Chain A
Amino acid sequence: MSPLIQYLILFGMLVFTTGLVGMIYLIKKSLEKTLEEPGKKVPAESGNLSPKPAWGRYHVHYYSFALLFLAFDMEMAYMYPWAVVYKELGIMALLDMGVFLMILFLGLIYTWNQGGLKRQ
């Protein structure tokens, strides 16, 4: 089957799923109406009504991991094509990627050494 048709089927699947979900929503809508009651629409917060909005600043304690993740994620983009031709190229491919990975791995060890792999 040609790639174009495959992607068309995938797109069809996307439309189909959206339609299915839309259908569930419509069935639900036809069943009943939500009653308006005080305090009902307030997000849960341990029994209290939460007056303040939650969209504030949130300290993501894992930002050092996130930075490390970026570096490794970039490396993965190179790794996929490399993995496909690996067996063909043999030992040279192993050495080429080995050097690249070693540099990244040193980065990981440096981060670990500097205490970056801890909750900040």
Chain B
Amino acid sequence: MSQTIYWITTIFLFVAGVYLLAVMERWITYGRFDLLAPFKRSLALLGQESVTPRKMDKVFYETAPLLFIVATLMAAMVLPFGKGSPAIDLATGALFINAALAYIMVSILMAGWAPNGVYAMIGGWRFLGQLIAYSMPIVMAITATVMRAESMALTEIVNSQQSLWNIIYQPVGFLLFYLSAMAMAFLPPFDLPTAPGTLAGGVWAEFTAERLLVFRIGRLALIMTLSLATNVLFLGGWYGPWLPDYLWTFLKTLAVAASFFGVSRFAVRIRYDSLLEWSWKFATPAALFNILWVGILLLL
């Protein structure tokens, strides 16, 4: 019985989170608050004519949006919302979210290749470069949290933060994870694959109507998943006074997502070669330093 309640609560909170994120993105980015906007946008996209490019790779074109949303939701499935009775508590949870989210890059690259258009293609290749930049910091930051919890199970990682949250224990790791998560969701300072100003939509330029709708829902779900992951790995998951555990997870996740949008509103888009350079010159050594830092703290 409690399992059923857990399932219903989790799914409801996740869907509500995705909806609120859609409202929030509009509110923070454009200053327009409209609770009905997500529905209007969805209807507009469903009403749009479905145009497909003429000489395309059909398999990649059809698979890319689906793979995007499937990979995102697979990662979201293993992230715990509350302490009650987590439905899926994989022993390799921390590794699993990493493996599932690696397919985001594959999906975007497929979407870039498929339409046989130059802008989309450049967007796709750029995102591959972006993966090379963000992947090392994010993986090493996760490893440092695993070291502290002595387990890859995500519930154990949350439990290890009962006395002190990881954001204070390993601030460098948090910063790296935060920025890498933004790069993974291609939010504005790192929105190289879509790049509205320079690439005219990039990888999404050739996707219309229902496929674009799936991409957009997937993108919001991805931001929700990454905020949830930030919360679980660094912000103490469900721990907090007074309120019930599910609500704490939900509120913290929304706060992280709001900060993502807030940061991306004021940031200037970075060039992909600068991104790669800074990532390997500063972020990767910082991530290694973070592992050493946690290692020494654990031995004390």
Binding site for B on A (CB under 8 A): 1, 3, 6, 9-10, 13-14, 17-18, 21, 24-25, 27-28, 31-32, 34-35, 40-46, 50, 53-55, 58, 60-62, 65-66, 68-69, 72-73, 76, 79-80, 83-88, 90-91, 93-94, 98, 101, 105, 108, 112, 117-119
A58 to chain B, nearest CB (A): 6
Q: Is the CB of A43 within 8 A of B205?
A: yes
In the bound complex, how far is the Cα of B50 from the Cα of A35, in angstroms?
9
In the complex, residue of chain A having the shortest beta-carbon distance to the beta carbon of B100: A10
CB distance from B82 to the nearest CB of A (A): 15
Q: In whole Å, how far is A3's beta carbon from the nearest beta carbon of chain B?
A: 7
How many chain B residues touch A (CB < 8 A): the figure is: 72
Distance of A53 from chain B, by nearest CB (Å):
6
B51 within 8 A of A: yes
A/B interface sample: 15 pairs, CB < 8 A: A10-B77, A13-B77, A21-B65, A25-B210, A32-B49, A34-B52, A40-B51, A43-B116, A54-B118, A60-B125, A60-B128, A62-B129, A65-B132, A83-B147, A86-B298
Given A43-B116, A117-B280 in contact, is the A87-B273 Cβ separation under 8 Å?
no
- Report yes or no: A34 in contact with B50, Cβ–Cβ below 8 A: yes
A14, A18, A84, A105: the one within 8 Å of B288 (CB): A105
Interchain CB contact under 8 A, A62 and B273: yes
Contacts of B115 in A (CB 8 A): 43
B152 at the interface (CB under 8 A from A): yes
- Whether B150 pairs with A50 at a CB distance below 8 angstroms is no
B91 at interface by CB-CB < 8 Å = yes
Beta-carbon contact of B95 and A80 below 8 Å: yes
Residue pair A69, B88 in contact (C-beta under 8 Å): no
- Which residues on the A side are within 8 Å of B119 (C-beta)? 43-45
With A43-B115, A117-B280 as given contacts, are A86 and B150 in contact (CB-CB < 8 Å)? yes
**Bound Cα distance from A62 to B284, whole angstroms:** 16
- In the assembled complex, which residues on chain A have CB atoms less than 8 Å from the CB atom of B51? 34, 40-41
- Given A21-B65, A62-B132; A41-B70 close (CB under 8 Å): no
Q: Would you call A14 and B74 a contact (CB within 8 A)?
A: yes
Which residues of B are found within 8 Å of A94, using beta-carbon distances? Answer: 295-296, 299
Select which of B54, B132, B214, B276 is within 8 A of A21 by beta carbon. B214
Tell me, yes or no, whether B53 is within 8 Å of chain A by CB: yes
Chain A nearest Cβ from B113, distance in angstroms: 8
B167 CB within 8 Å of chain A: no
Tell me which of B53, B78, B299 contacts A43 (CB under 8 A): B53
**Which of A13, A53, A72 contacts B74 (CB under 8 A)?**
A13
* B92 (CB) vs chain A CBs: closest residue: A80
Additional 14 contacts, C-beta under 8 A, given A24-B213, A31-B46, A76-B143: A28-B210, A34-B50, A43-B119, A43-B120, A44-B206, A54-B118, A54-B120, A65-B129, A72-B136, A79-B143, A84-B152, A86-B150, A86-B295, A118-B273
A65 to B274, CA, bound (A): 12
Contacts of A40 on B, CB cut-off 8 Å? 51
Interface bits B84-95 vs A (CB < 8 Å: 1, else 0):
000111110011
Interface pair A83/B146, CB less than 8 Å apart: yes
Q: Is the CB of A101 within 8 A of B288?
A: yes
Interface residues of B in 108-123 (CB under 8 A from A): 113, 115-122
Residues in A whose Cβ lies below 8 Å from that of B77: 9-10, 13
Nearest Cβ in chain A — how far from B201, in angstroms? 7
Q: Which residues of A contact B272 (CB under 8 A)?
A: 62
**How close is B283's CB to chain A, nearest CB, in angstroms?**
12
Q: Find residues 131-161 in chain B having any chain A CB closer than 8 Å to their own CB.
A: 132-133, 135-136, 139-140, 143-144, 146-147, 150-152
Q: Please give, as numbers and ranges, the residues of chain B lying within 8 Å of A76 by CB-CB distance.
A: 136, 139-140, 143
A21 touches B69 (CB 8 A): yes
